Amino acid sequence: MSTTTTSAEQTAATRSSGAIVLGDNQWGKAEVRLVRVDRAAPRHEITDVNVSSQLRGGQEATHLEGDNSRCVATDTQKNTIYAFARDGVGAIEDFAIRLGRHFVEDFEWIEGGRWEIEQYSWNRIATADGEHDHAFVRNNQETRTTVVQRDGDEVFVVSGLTDLVVLKSTGSEFHGFPRDRYTTLVETNDRILATSVTSRWRYTTTDVDFDAVYAKVRAIQLEAFATTHSLALQQTLFAMGKAVLEAVPEIAEIKFSMPNKHHFLVDLAPFGLDNPNEVFYAADRPYGLIEATVQREGAPAEPRAWATVTGFC
């Protein structure tokens, strides 16, 4: 009788002989909705954010024995977010850094954590007398984002935006792509180019005016999208990232996820009408999805900054 061990048996033996241990873990309160009204002057200011706090470290006994002596309650994390907002929120990156510093410094067993914030914008309502001092309308443009992660004394900041919907009615082409028996797409020298930009960029320092840099990066991306004569959405994406890195030395790399919001020319011939590139069908799915990282050559990678930042290549 053969005693040869198969690879499947070896794999099963390896699996069964190893001890069962706790792997990476984190815990916290997700999506804490916070609106702060600054009433220091008759002209009020609104800060509207969604904050998630997750801590890391010291949880072996909690998981293995149900010992909660080192488990900072998620409700405590929520309350801390609200309490810190009493002194103001400011730039969302600075607020997340403040939260991280508090938890790591005040609880000796906390090794680090992750603080993610989304910020929503409000515009003042215009009246016959000008902008109203305390009436607002929700701005349905992009959402500002940040993910701040802390590993001991090291802090990593990845900021960005999502749902920045942009469109060019001309100045875009797409041709020269390979064709096979499944290719039906017609080449074009003049098309609508539209996308919803999601971008995230990694800072190399926390000594930054985050509000000013955010406004600058947003404006640069919009200008590059508008002024680049596009032969492909990929080309436009790279031009946007290149422009950001050239203008902002505090950013090491920027990642994009950009769906191609297709606009197809409607055939009006059955109705006896021409269509000189004017009437389109806006398709929401399926869609092309272009993703890429634009980075400085030779810049050291920092995977800890991007850990848990999903949706990017």
Residues known to be catalytic: 29, 74, 262
CATH code, domain with 88: 3.10.270.10
Residues 192 and 312 both lie in one domain? yes
Residues 123 and 179 both lie in one domain? no
Structural domain that includes position 49 = 25-152
In a domain, 302, yes or no: yes
Is 218 part of any known ligand binding site? no
pLDDT at 148: 98
Residues 264 and 186 both lie in one domain? yes
pLDDT at 5: 58
User: What total number of domains does the chain contain?
Assistant: 2
Is 74 part of any known ligand binding site? yes
**Each residue's pLDDT expressed in tens, for the chain with a length of 313 residues:** 555 656 666 655 556 568 999 999 999 999 999 999 999 999 999 999 999 999 999 999 999 999 999 999 999 999 999 999 999 999 999 999 999 999 999 999 999 999 999 999 999 999 999 999 999 999 888 999 999 999 999 999 999 999 999 999 999 999 999 999 999 999 999 999 999 999 999 999 999 999 999 999 999 999 999 999 999 999 999 999 999 999 999 999 999 999 999 999 999 999 999 999 999 999 989 999 999 999 999 989 999 999 999 877 7
Choosing from 107, 131, 152, the residue where a domain stops is 152
Is 275 part of any known ligand binding site? no
pLDDT at 162: 97
Is 312 part of any known ligand binding site? no
Is 238 part of any known ligand binding site? no
In a domain, 3, yes or no: no
In a domain, 265, yes or no: yes
Residues 103 and 206 both lie in one domain? no
Is 234 part of any known ligand binding site? yes
pLDDT at 29: 98
Q: b/e per residue, 296-311, with b = 16+ CB within 10 A?
A: eeeeeeeeebbeebee
pLDDT at 311: 78
pLDDT at 313: 72
